[in-house]
Amino acid sequence: MRLVLLGPPGAGKGTQATRIAKRFAVPQLSTGDMLREAVASGSVLGAHVKDIMERGDLVPDDVVIAVVADRMDHLDAANGFVLDGFPRTVAQAEALDRELAARGIGLDAVLELEVDEDVLLVRIKGRAEEAGKKGQPVRRDDNPEVFKARLKAYRAQTAPVTEYYRSQGLLHIVDGLQPIDLVTEELAEVLSAFA
Ligand code: AMP
């Protein structure tokens, strides 16, 4: 099962990607997590992307494409994966198609979490507060100012990716404002056709 999970920042992509990946026994490939790990490890890649991420801007396509192409070749991704946070531009979607074609594989489905933008800001504040209460580290880009930049990047650069996949007949839209468990069930129902 090879999937892409789309949706604006704060829509619950990470949570749902984790659940779907577990249910279908494939790894979750989160570019945000991979890039944050690179920053935390102090690698050359991390140093390159740190400021960009803290501003809420998108990391250059060639950088993130190389990270994903490498990760797809790990053994655990041989039977499939859930891409979370990638592709975020049409150029990334086109590159993904090329990388998959070169491996003789393709996507089964693209799932999009649809969420009203006004709700997102409230959610992101909640996410930061919750992490703070649990004594967990609060993501530096989970503050209202940076979040607005992330939303702007989403509207300008990522929203067209929806149309890209719609035109390929791969797109399935799910209402991301429902309770978390219901969203998971709806996603799983869509995916039952491909399992
Ligand atoms: P996320 O955890 O998916 O919200 O990603 C956090 C940040 O990592 C984003 O705001 C971007 O700066 C960067 N990032 C993650 N995935 C991508 C991507 N596919 N393309 C460009 N930048 C990305």
88 is catalytic: yes
Q: Which of 2, 19, 71, 150 is catalytic?
A: 150
Q: Separation of 59 CA from ligand 1 center, angstroms? A: 7
- The first and second tokens of residue 195, run together, are 């399992």
Tell me which residues have their CB closer than 6 angstroms to ligand 1: 9, 31-32, 35, 52-53, 56-59, 64, 85-88, 92, 141, 150
- The first and second tokens of residue 61, run together, are 């396509």
Q: 30, 17 in Cβ contact below 8 A?
A: yes
13 is catalytic: yes
Residue 23: φ, ψ to 5°: -60, -35
Per-residue confidence (pLDDT) for residue 48, from 0 to 100: 96
pLDDT tens by residue, 27-75:
999 999 999 999 999 999 999 999 999 999 999 999 999 999 999 999 9
Q: Which of 127, 140, 148, 166 is catalytic?
A: 127
pLDDT tens by residue, 81-114:
999 999 999 999 999 999 999 999 999 999 999 9
Angle between helices 61-72 and 31-41 (to 10 degrees): 100
Question: CA-CA-CA-CA torsion for 59, 27, 13, 162, nearest 10 degrees?
Answer: 70
23 is catalytic: no
Q: Which of 139, 140, 148, 166 is catalytic?
A: 139
pTM, to two decimals: 0.92
Q: In the 8-state DSSP scheme, what is residue 36?
A: H
Q: Is 50 exposed, middle or buried (0-12, 13-18, 19+ CB in 10 A)?
A: middle
pLDDT tens by residue, 143-169:
888 888 999 999 999 999 999 999 999
Per-residue confidence (pLDDT) for residue 177, from 0 to 100: 93
Q: Separation of 34 CA from ligand 1 center, angstroms? A: 9
